[in-house]
Homo-oligomer: A and B are copies of this chain.
Amino acid sequence: MSRPQRGTLRDVRKGNRSVVLWTLYFANELSRHDLARTTGLSAATVSNVIGDLIADGIVVETGSVDSDGGRPRIMLRVDPSYGYVVGVGVGETRVRVELYDLAMQERARKEFALDPSHHEPAVVARHILDGLEAVLSEAGVDESEVLGMGLGVPGVAEQGPDLLIHARAFGWDGVPLGALLREGTSIPVFADNGVKTTGQAELWFGAGKGAQHLVMTFIGTGAGASVINGGVTYRGTANGAGEWGHTKIVLDGRPCRCGSRGCLEAYIGAEAILAGAGRELKDDDEESVFAALLADPLARPAFEEAVRCLGAGLADLINLFNPERVILGGWAGSLLGREFLAEIRAAAAGYALPLPFSQASIELGRLGPEAVALGAATLVVEDFLLRSHAVRPAGRGEAPARAAGPARG
């Protein structure tokens, strides 16, 4: 019941700064005049704010262009090299560290294989820190130029100073990853579930562009979802929302690795599908076997069964969340979608209520698996756009470790 917001006065300025910066960032290039129109602010205010932003080095004028019988507009854009952001994708089999400029252009990348039997927090933290160092030196970027580091982890990232990570797959139960990393770097650390970071990546740059309400599904070995509501990731009380894979789809049906039975994941997860087609296998080549199997007529029934279940699972999401768009993602989800999109849509149509189904479209994700890291990096950018520190801590500055979370305002 805490709806109405802040009440200060000079936050208005900060707010307007954010509006302008946000608008400019996503529009890529705009003139002051355009900004005034788009944001609804007066030209004077835009001029002021832009003046500040230019003085702070965040925005640059990119040649004055264009005209229509009058003074040419001076185009503005966020300076891509104002700062850099690091995105980390922590997967079950690898850790990927990427460095981006503010325009989300990749500047460097470093990958580490993760021994499935060595998921200890210290190992992962070591990889991340090594990766950080590697990408920085590869790109010739100093740590002080980095606005922050975002982590996409295979579990729940709980807000707080220590950034607790709960990841069943790793046997992590409240690992203070933020605190661990702070011992090796002073860069601010953000973290979120990998599905949620992927969702945000699709929202910003992929199949979710322009949508306000969408559900990003993620099917690999497991299945998860990220819900975006009004442009904001839905998190729930402890950022644990979106556990779609353990939705019960067959009451007391197949046992699931979560310990329960009848979970969606036990029917549409990659392993389940492969098992249905008679293939038991080890982690490594799952993906290639899966892809090959798609062409195998003998495996059809297994896929058809999966498509049916997926349709039911999507229907649940559509009924519950009433999204305008549902996106299929994750490596298995992408493969399934590429092959069976029409069938999936039909299956969902059969299970969902007509009204919400008619309001939702089901589409393929456009970003690959590397979107985990990309999306993680956007956590940093988002923070930057929203509360752009007038001047970033030039020298030292405490390194706040916070989870991406609903703690806005």
**Chain A residues proximal to chain B, CB less than 8 Å:** 1-9, 12, 15-16, 18-19, 22, 26, 39-41, 45, 156, 166, 203-204, 209-210, 212-213, 225, 229-232, 234-244, 246-251, 253, 258, 260, 262, 308-309, 312-313, 315-316, 319-324, 350-353, 355-356, 359-360, 385-386, 406
Q: How many copies of this chain does one complex carry?
A: 2
* Most B CB within 10 A of own CB, among A2, A26, A39, A40: A2
B248 touches A249 (CB 8 A): yes
Given contacts A230-B406, A320-B243, A322-B241, contact A351 B260 (CB under 8 A): yes
B3 touches A232 (CB 8 A): yes
In whole angstroms, how far apart are the Cα atoms of A161 and B237 in the complex?
A: 34
B231 touches A229 (CB 8 A): no
* Most B CB within 10 A of own CB, among A5, A248, A260: A248
26 contacts between A and B (CB under 8 A): A1-B26, A1-B209, A2-B212, A3-B232, A4-B385, A6-B40, A7-B15, A12-B12, A156-B355, A166-B355, A212-B237, A236-B322, A238-B359, A240-B322, A240-B355, A240-B356, A244-B319, A246-B315, A247-B247, A247-B319, A247-B320, A248-B315, A248-B316, A250-B250, A260-B315, A260-B352
A356 touches B243 (CB 8 A): yes
A9's closest neighbor in chain B, by CB? B12
What's the least CB distance linking A195 to chain B, in Å? 12
In whole angstroms, how far apart are the Cα atoms of A249 and B234 in the complex?
A: 23
What's the least CB distance linking A69 to chain B, in Å? 30
- Choose one: B4, B312, B385; the contact of A15 (CB below 8 Å): B4
